[in-house]
Structures are given as structure tokens and as C-alpha cells.
């Protein structure tokens, strides 16, 4: 019945979220000026889709870095 289908569908969603949680702690920051990607493994709670002002070695100055998903 419909109820059975819905419950299995929500379980799939849960697994999806669990897989995403494993990715947590590893973020990719992309320089919005030159597009250089910087990989950072750092646990950052409460910071989703944040734009950080960081030093870019390619631009040789502080630029806005966007968090990649």
C-alpha cells in the first residue's frame, strides 16, 4: 500500500543523509577570483555555504572563497 511505499522512500532518504554526513569535515574552498581550489579537512559546524575571506596563493592576496559541495 501507499504507506509501505512512503516508509521505504523515507528510509532511502535517511541513508542519503548518512552518506552525506561522512563527507562532513572535508570541505573544498574555491577562490572566487581565480577559481583555484583549496582542499581543507576541517570540522566546521554551523558553517554551510559560507564565503570565507582567505589568502589565495595564486592571487597572492585575500580573496573570497566559496565552499564547494
Applying CB under 5 A, the residues found at the interface with Zn ion are: 31, 33-34, 36, 56, 58-59, 63
Closer Cβ to Zn ion, 6 or 51, answer by number:
51
Closer Cβ to Zn ion, 9 or 53, answer by number:
53
Decide: 24 and 18 in contact? Cβ < 8 Å: no
Q: CB of residue 63 vs Zn ion: minimum separation in angstroms?
A: 5
Closer Cβ to Zn ion, 25 or 59, answer by number:
59
Q: In what order do the strands lie in the sheet with 51-56?
A: 37-41, 26-31, 61-68, 51-56
Q: CB of residue 36 vs Zn ion: minimum separation in angstroms?
A: 5
Nearest alpha-carbon partner for 21 in 61, 55, 58, 48: 48
Amino acid at each position: 500500500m501507499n504507506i509501505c511505499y512512503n516508509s521505504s522512500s523515507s528510509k532511502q532518504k535517511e541513508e542519503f543523509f548518512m552518506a552525506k554526513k561522512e563527507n562532513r569535515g572535508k570541505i573544498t574552498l574555491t577562490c572566487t577570483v581565480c577559481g583555484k581550489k583549496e582542499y581543507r579537512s576541517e570540522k566546521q559546524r554551523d558553517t554551510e555555504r559560507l564565503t570565507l575571506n582567505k589568502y589565495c596563493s595564486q592571487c597572492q592576496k585575500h580573496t573570497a572563497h566559496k565552499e564547494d559541495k
